[in-house]
Structure 1
């Protein structure tokens, strides 16, 4: 019986230790493209194959607001700034706290002959503290692929 109680105590200590430790699965990964504004930081990598452009990365909340319903749109542009293709990612869970990160992958179909010069990222969210009728916050920036 003593062995059973000891084993149970060890098991509970291990489970409590796992529950207390935070886990950020992608925080150690290094992305070579980064952009930060006052509210969000976006880190990503772009891979192009014969049929599509895939943009993978992480979004990090840097504001004190809880972000509700965040979304990220990537618009592919040619050398003249003309629209080529577009894709959007809707984050789930739909609420991010300060310093929380969320992974994303946007796959945009694109033919081999289509030129790609820049990506215009646009993000949008609502501060959770403002409720359902709060104003959306958004920002956009351009970067090389």
Structure 2
């Protein structure tokens, strides 16, 4: 299923759903950040996805990272909350979501890096190499907040 992201775009479709989602900035010992190239958009993004009934939001982030990358992680902190109603995500099946994402930090505790059906590439990327990758600007915002060494999580 294809997806298109809109930000502050008067041509964006009107949201018909709000889905609670979690993402994670997973780093390795060299400080590189794990990114996946999504099959639905072709863009690089942090691993993450929707929370299921019966799980916590940190648990959703852990599960999504495992499903999308094969890695086991533990949550180590909070980057921020991302709920800007100007960020709309439209799917080819007619679902149109208003963004609702909580982004955590995480470290790898096990597993083996492997591509899932949700991605075409997985890689740990040095912060200086991020500008050369196709990344939606709302994902770049999360990365910027992570790399900015903020004194408190972003609340937006």
Bucket of the pairwise TM-score, normalised by the shorter protein: under 0.3
TM-score (norm 1): 0.24
Question: Larger RCO: Structure 1 or Structure 2 (Cα < 8 Å, ≥ 6 residues apart)?
Answer: 2
Task: Using structure 2 for the length normalisation, give the TM-score.
Answer: 0.23
Between Structure 1 and Structure 2, the one with more strand by share is: 1
